[in-house]
Amino acid sequence: MTAPLRAPFGQRLTDVVRARGPLCVGIDPHPSLLLAWDLDESPASLERFAMTAVEALAGEVAVLKPQSAFFEVYGSAGIAVLEKVIREAQQAGALVLLDVKRGDIGSTMTAYAMAYLDEHAPLAADAITVSPYLGYGSLAPAIGMAEQTGRGVFVLARTSNPEGAGLQQSIHGSGDSVAQYIVDSAAETNLDATPMGHVGVVAGATIRPGDLDFSRLNGPILAPGLGAQGATVRTLREVFGESLPNVLPTTSRDILRHGPTPDALRAAAHRVRDEVSELLHG
């Protein structure tokens, strides 16, 4: 039997959160942020922005989450920068969650899995976001490859954008909401994993308390929405309740707006991380 390439993602995430605190910071080179940093929309400026964020944060926070779309718009030059971000962030000890939200069927989903989760892929991250809206079962190639390589996937369940509510809160054939069905499907995949499974879900920090039951998930919950989208550290307990220890709050622009000085970015991340840690242990 072939030995695993690395420890399971659930163990690796648990370890890095224990060492660095529970925070995921997005690297989103949005044009408005480039402008705020006195940068233009060129590949050189993209690299300066992204690598400044890596320099400031990769040695400090548990997870960095590059938003692939903001790199893809620059074509091959942008993808080259993204490869560098992933490589150097991992070398500094952060886990890299690549926000790609891929979802397809059959051989196409397998190709996406190979692009981001295969051991030898130039864009291999520690985890990726995936969309289950072609059916949770369609994600099997990514879920399987992630398990094989010690990586993870975060499945969109209840997102923070208002447009998603109608679909995600509609009733599935199981009798639960579609979002709850996705959470429960992830729970089945994670069954018996220790300390938790490699399949997480995405559930916005802005959702209503009680919208979802995470008690059986046994996996991480990526919670976007802190800051710009209106959620606060204080509201995390209201939304996630007993599942709060498995929550990985994520924020992007509320940290990145403090650039371009690395020290200011680092200080902003420390403030949010320490607030979340105090909430967990208070």
CA distance 228 to 267: 18
What is the C-alpha R_g of the chain? Answer: 18
Angle, to 10 degrees, between the axis of helix 43-57 and the axis of helix 76-91? 10
The secondary structure of 147-214, three-state, reads HHHCCEEEEEEECCCHHHHHHHCCECCCCCEHHHHHHHHHHHHHCCCCCCCCEEEEECCCCCCCCCCC
User: Is 84 among the catalytic positions?
Assistant: no
Collect all residues with Cβ–Cβ distance below 8 Å to 33 and sequence separation of at least 6.
49, 253, 256, 257, 259
Beta bridge partners of 92: none
CA distance 206 to 148: 33
Give the tokens for residue 227. 């800051």
Collect all residues with Cβ–Cβ distance below 8 Å to 87 and sequence separation of at least 6.
none
Write down the catalytic residue from 101, 237, 253, 257.
101
| Backbone angles phi and psi of 161, in degrees to 5 | -80, 140
Catalytic residues: 101
